[in-house]
Amino acid sequence: MIDAKNRTLVGIQGIVIDDTKFTLLIDTPHGVKRVIKAQCVFELDLDGLKIKAEGRELIGTPDERLAS
């Protein structure tokens, strides 16, 4: 996470293990964290390709995001 309303979330790194409409569940070295998408800016690493994603753009279920 590169930015968040809750500054304690900045710097969290891990693997997304669940994606709900409004939150992501991230498995970190310090335990599992649930973060609210709308309040965060994420940096995603896809096989070495780094992508910045505004959390509010990720809101919705995977099916809803595919339909839009």
- Inside any domain, residue 66: no
Which tens digit of pLDDT belongs to each residue from 18-51?
A: 999 999 999 999 999 999 999 999 999 989 999 9
Structural domain includes residue 42: yes
Tokens standing for 37?
């998408």
Distance between the two ends of the chain, CA-based, in angstroms? 25
Task: Pick the closest to residue 26 from 39, 9, 38 (CA basis).
Answer: 9
Q: What is the mean pLDDT of the chain?
A: 91
- pTM of the predicted model, to two decimals? 0.83
pLDDT for res 67: 72
- List 19's β-bridge partners, or say none: 24
Residue 68's pLDDT is: 62
Residue 67 placed within a domain: no
Residue 1 has pLDDT above 90, yes or no: no
* CATH number reported for the structural domain that contains residue 50 in this entry: 2.30.30.210
Residue pair 43/54 in contact (Cβ under 8 Å)? The answer is no
Residue 21, domain extent = 3-60
32 in any annotated domain: yes
- Tally of domains in the chain: 1
- Show the tokens assigned to 64: 């809803």
